Structure 1
Amino acid sequence: MVKRVLSVGQCVPDTSSLMRFLTSHFDVEIDQSDVETDTLEKLKASEYDLVLINRKLDADYSDGIELIQKIRATSEIKPSPLMLVSNYPEYQEQAVEVGAVYGIGKDQYRDPQTAARLKPYLG
């Protein structure tokens, strides 16, 4: 069964890398969102198996951790696993503190542990 992923706030090169990584390891359909308002609307309208949120949204440089908090505080959104996309463990820990699961870094796509971390949601 095809799993649905929402990728939030990635720049064009990162989107390309992320899509290549995800589609090479999993049977996924990937939607994209650039800013908070579009993200919240998509999450209200549809369910996703995983939401990958950049630490800083490329379009407006807003904070991904703050977006995770807003998603968790919006009652019209059905719970989906949220992951921060960041190479920095301290930001991953902050994201977990506000309701995300431990995420992945952009420089970790070749690491077998990265696919293993996503398998519970996309496998």
Structure 2
Amino acid sequence: MKKRVLDVGNCGPDHSSIKRFLAKHFDCEVLQADGADDALAALRGGHIDLVLVNRKLDMDYSDGVEVIRQIKAAADVAHAPTMLITNYDEHHEAAMKIGALRGFGKLDLAKPATVEQLQPILGSAD
């Protein structure tokens, strides 16, 4: 069955890169949300297997960790696996402290380790 990934806060080109990367390695559909309200609505609107949140949201440059905080505070959707997309370890640490899984950076999209990291959530790589 096709997995569903919600990409939150990435600009068009970055969303396209993430979508291409995921489609190349996993059988998944990638949805897009601009911020916390869109993300929560999408999570409540249907099953999402993974939420990827940009460190700084494209629409207003607000903090992606705050989006994760809102997701994890909502009892009905807090179970959704969530990762921060950033190249900075300190931001990964902050996200993990509030319930996110360790994420990855956009610079890591081409790395086999990123595929391995996502396999337990999205299934076997091709």
TM interval, short-chain normalised: over 0.9
SS in structure 2 opposite 1:115? Answer: helix
Contact 1:3/1:27 (<8 A) preserved = yes
Tell me the CA shift for residue 12 of structure 1: 1.1
Provide structure 1 residue ranges, at least 5 long, that are not aligned to the other structure. none
Contact (CA 8 Å) 2:72, 2:78: kept in 1 or not? no
Please give the TM-score of this superposition, normalised by the length of structure 1.
0.96
The alignment covers a number of residue pairs equal to 123
Q: Is the 8 A contact 2:35 2:67 kept in 1?
A: no
- Of all paired residues, the percent bearing the same amino acid is 50
| Preserved contact between residue 71 and residue 78 of structure 2 (Cα < 8 Å) | no
Amino acid at match of 1:42: A
What is the 5 A alignment of 1:69-80? 69-77=69-77, 79-80=79-80
TM alignment of 1:5-84, pairs within 5 A: 5-77=5-77, 79-84=79-84
RMSD, aligned α-carbons: 1.0
Structure 2 gaps of 5+ residues are: none
Q: Partners of 2:2 and 2:78 in 1: how far apart?
A: 19
Which whole-Å CA distance do the structure 2 matches of 1:66 and 1:99 have between them?
A: 12
Which stretches of structure 1, 4 residues or more, deviate above 6 A after TM superposition?
none
Structure 2 letter corresponding to 1:122: L
Return the alpha-carbon distance in structure 2 between the equivalents of residues 3 and 78 of structure 1: 18
The answer to whether the 8 A contact 1:43-1:78 is kept is no
